[in-house]
Amino acid sequence: MLPITLSKIALITNAKLINNVNNDIIFTISLDSRKITKNKKCLFIALKGNNFDSHNFILEAIHNGVIAILVCYEYKINIPQLIVSNTKIALGKLSLWVRQQYSVKALTITGSSGKTSVKEITTSILKQCGHVLCNFGNQNNDIGVPITLLKLTSKHNFIVIELGANKFNDIMWTNSLVKPEIVLINNISFAHLRGFKDIYGVSKAKSEIFLEKSIYHCVINLNSHDIPNWKIFFYNKKIWYFSLYKKNSAHFFTISKINNNNIDYYLHTPIGNCKLTIPLFGIYNISNIVAASALAILAGASLSAVIQGISQLLPISSRLYPIILSKNKLLIDDSYNANVSSMILAANTLSKFNSYKVMIISDILELGDNSILYHDFVGKIIKSFKINEILTIGKLSYFLGKNISHNKHFFDLINLIKYVKKLILYYNNITVLVKGSHNTLANYIVNILINTILC
């Protein structure tokens, strides 16, 4: 971010500024009292959430070298203080000011699944064209997006930001900070239903991305959308469609060959067609690549940049991430998160492998009052896939597997791990895929299997 005086920050955030003797210039901002470097002219912003309050670490931040603090109430300490009613809103205002200092092409991405993958693929393509600022990992909320924008400098040519949401108005707020020209809704499905109640609530929340006046282009998935209810937002905006298969869309693809290691396919775009081979599993990864190519081309990328950017892709950790246990023995880590759609797609991906196929499933969270019904629904679909064994663990996953003849349900982790290890040792050619929501046992299962089999 630009060097900025404390008095300017006070003006931007509408803060009361006290103890401002020297009107110091701020060069860095920190939200973590442990990650402060002395002599960096740092401002500490004390955020307050449902389960944390950074005001408790003010003294630690000062000890570590901050020269000023942005807080919700005054402290009896001899250091410049910016006092506001809500530090998170102040952080947003400051990030918006930084964003407005630079003329840079900005893109925002939302959807029920695939946001991070599309962001990473789009970033890889646009890096062939210039410098790109994107949010790290899944920092896609009302804290992560402002933090990212504070890193914007004159060297950047593009901003690529994914936007997540747990409740209404989340996307409207974060998108208003980015001020994008190009936006994407990657898909909509049964996700975060605790906050949105049903698929119509999900659609409404995602459609908030269209509200920003700066938008010129909207990119829509013809295979997963709510266009009749979104059309009201399309006035004065250009719409590009992408699809896995529909040739009436601007971007689509045709498969040449699928095997255990990669997929050969033809990408069709308005600026030309190309054949690509990618080392990513899952047909929905191809959809993500088609979406990302549409975004990048709208931002000015050439077809050669698309080809080069995609050729440099690496699997993303915990998202259909391949881990080779030994020859012909593969563990696929898809434990980052899960919703109804991504669980079905993961099972479909596994079914394509030429090996003994095992899927370990833990609970799908945030499905609200109908969680059991949704798990039952998923089970009825994936039982028809060509998977040799479905192994479930968790209170909700029990209902997913109860009508699947080749399902085994486990009530404890130890017995599940013992059973899976026996399968891996017994079969010469085996693929094990682990899938579940964040904060379930899925990630833990992956780590145990890696540590006990590879070590």
Convert the pLDDT of each residue in 41-64 to its tens digit: 999 999 998 888 999 999 999 999
pLDDT for position 45: 97
- pLDDT of residue 27 exceeding 70, the answer is yes
Q: What is the pLDDT of residue 399?
A: 96
Asked if 71 and 80 count as a contact pair (C-beta separation under 8 A), the reply is: no
Q: 42-45: long-range contacts at Cβ-Cβ below 8 A with a sequence spacing of 24 or more?
A: 42/66, 42/67, 43/6, 43/9, 43/67, 43/68, 43/69, 43/70, 43/82, 44/68, 44/69, 44/70, 45/69, 45/70, 45/87, 45/90, 45/91
The H helix count followed by the E strand count for the chain is 16, 22
267 pLDDT band (50/70/90 cuts)?
confident
The string of pLDDT tens digits covering residues 164-206 is 998 999 999 999 999 999 999 999 887 656 667 788 888 999 9
pLDDT, tens digit (0-9, with 9 covering 90-100), for 74-129: 999 999 999 999 999 999 999 999 999 999 999 999 998 889 999 999 999 999 99
Q: Classify 95 as helix, strand or coil.
A: helix
Structural domains of the chain in order of their starting residue, each with its CATH number: 4-86 (3.40.1390.10), 102-311 (3.40.1190.10), 321-453 (3.90.190.20)
Cα 33 to Cα 229: distance, rounded to the nearest angstrom = 45
Predicted confidence band at 68 (pLDDT cuts at 50, 70, 90)?
very high
User: Is a pLDDT exceeding 60 seen at residue 254?
Assistant: yes
What pLDDT is recorded for position 440? Answer: 86
Exposed e or buried b per residue across 352-385, where buried means at least 16 C-beta atoms within 10 angstroms of its C-beta: bbebbbbbbbbbbbbbeeebeebbbebbeebbeb
- pLDDT (average), residues 328-339: 91
Q: Which of 299, 12, 303 is nearest to 180 (CA)?
A: 299
Q: What is the pLDDT of residue 417?
A: 95
Q: Which residues contact 232 (CB under 8 A, 6 or more apart)?
A: none
Q: What is the DSSP string of 355-416?
A: SEEEEEE-PPP--GGGHHHHHHHHHHHHTTS--SEEEEESTTHHHHHTT-TTEEEESSHHHH
**Checking DSSP bridges between strand 81-83 and strand 16-18, what pairing results, if any?**
antiparallel
Interval 15-22 mean pLDDT: 92
Looking at the predicted structure, is the pLDDT value of residue 262 above 70?
A: no
pLDDT level of residue 256 (50, 70, 90 thresholds): low
- Interacting residues of 326 by C-beta distance below 8 A, sequence separation 6+: none
According to DSSP, residue 165 is labeled -
Q: Is the pLDDT of residue 269 over 70?
A: yes
For 123, the 3-state DSSP assignment is helix
**Torsion sign across C-alpha atoms 54, 56, 62, 67:** positive
Q: Could you tell me which residues are beta bridge partners of residue 449?
A: none
The CA distance from 192 to 197, in Å, is 8
Token code pair at residue 338: 């899960």
pLDDT band at residue 307, thresholds of 50, 70 and 90? very high
- Of the candidates 50, 91, 98, 46, the residue with the CA atom closest to the CA atom of residue 72: 46
pLDDT of 259 over the 60 cut: no
Q: What is the mean pLDDT of the chain?
A: 90
Return the percentage of the chain with pLDDT > 70, whole number.
95
CA distance 2 to 389: 56
Query: Quick one: tokens of 211?
Result: 């509200």
pLDDT digits (tens, 9 = 90+) for 196-243: 778 888 899 999 999 999 999 999 999 888 999 999 999 999 999 998
